[in-house]
Structure 1
Amino acid sequence: MGVVGSPIHRYRWCVDKFNLTARELNLWRAVKILSDVVFSRIESGVLRACGLSGSEFSVLSRLHDLGDGKLGQQDLLQSLKWNKSRLSHQLTRMEAKGFVRREPAGRTAEVVMLAAGKRVLKAAQPAHAQAIRQYLSKKLTREEADTLLAIFEKLSE
């Protein structure tokens, strides 16, 4: 069995064709599964608490944290690390819910958080914080958290 629970022979093509070692493949799978599981649990906590999807929470929290409720669409795109199409579709859905509005700003647009977006974000923040503690920070010692942060910093360079 691999580190994350699946027999490595299922992924033999990856090892053989691309010269990945079993350790490299297990490392990739562990990172992928870890991020999927933790993100899913945290997003589920927010969704249960106030009906806000993870993507909606991401957009609203970026608008709040980086722009005090207003941010250029390009800046929002870069902060989320999404592609243009995904952001555009997400903003269209959020405009329909009354959470945000896009305003022309020269050759681009600014995304403005509306009152409904502010209310739902405020309702979501305690659930988000509680889910982070439950599914991430309380499961790690301080040293483990520091190591994980150092690893993420190194990998994001």
Structure 2
Amino acid sequence: MSTMCRQRWAMTSSSITPDEWAAWRGFRRMAEITSGRIVQDITRSTGLSRADFIVLMELNQSKDRCRRQRELLDYLEWDKTRLSHQLTRMAGRGLIERDTDSENVVVIRMTAEGHAQLGAARPVHAAGVRRYFLDHLSADDRAALQRITDKLHAALQDAEN
């Protein structure tokens, strides 16, 4: 960004200092690039998209590999329409099934195909996390990052209440 652009930007966003903007932009860029590269590896290897992988990972957290749709919505913090479209695409490819339980609640269940696809993606994901993230951080760096993410997560939780 040119000096003139920075000065104009600083004037319009005076409540955030240039150092604060640099921290924010660095965080966002690092997260987007790192996640993007990991997802590219997963997609190349398995055909799963970022959203597919996230949904399957969350379903896999349950011993019966299912969640209420509302629980997925709450966990992912996606728009209801986005989740519905994503689940429709995944059901069409045989990765998940939608059922209605006795309380008329929509339950999302991972299929055997979804489980197989996730099984193929998990080692690719782990290798990407190692290659693009962990290999570049010391134990102290990881501890500091964990403290920072815990602090930010707690602040977000407090802001909801």
The TM-score normalised by the length of structure 2 is: 0.87
* Aligned equivalents of 1:152, 1:12: Cα separation in 2: 31
Contact 1:8 1:22 in 2 (8 A): no
* Aligned equivalents of 1:12, 1:109: Cα separation in 2: 52
Alpha carbons of 1:107 and 1:41: their partners in 2 closer, same or farther (altered >3 Å)? same
Alpha carbons of 1:78 and 1:11: their partners in 2 closer, same or farther (altered >3 Å)? farther
**Mapped pair 1:153 → 2:156:** no
* Aligned equivalents of 1:102, 1:73: Cα separation in 2: 9
* Aligned equivalents of 1:10, 1:88: Cα separation in 2: 41
Gap runs ≥5 in structure 1? 1-5
Alpha carbons of 1:21 and 1:68: their partners in 2 closer, same or farther (altered >3 Å)? same
Q: CA deviation at 1:13?
A: 4.1
Does the residue aligned with 1:66 lie in a helix, a strand or coil? coil
The TM-score normalised by the length of structure 1 is: 0.89
Q: CA deviation at 1:21?
A: 1.1
Q: Matches of residues 135-150 of structure 1 in structure 2 within 5 Å?
A: 135-150=132-147
**Mapped pair 1:79 → 2:84:** no
- Runs (4+) of structure 1 exceeding 3 A deviation are 6-14
2:125 to 114, 128, 147: 128
Q: Matches of residues 52-131 of structure 1 in structure 2 within 5 Å?
A: 52-66=48-62, 68-105=64-101, 106-131=103-128
* Aligned equivalents of 1:89, 1:36: Cα separation in 2: 23
| Equivalence for 2:19 | 23
**Mapped pair 1:10 → 2:5:** yes
Q: Any idea what the Cα deviations from partners look like across 1:67-104, whole Å, max 9, x if unmatched?
A: 53110111111222222121111101101101011111
| Equivalence for 1:3 | none
* Aligned equivalents of 2:50, 2:43: Cα separation in 1: 7
Query: Identity over aligned residues, as a percent?
Result: 32
Gap runs ≥5 in structure 2? 155-161
Amino acid at match of 1:120: Q
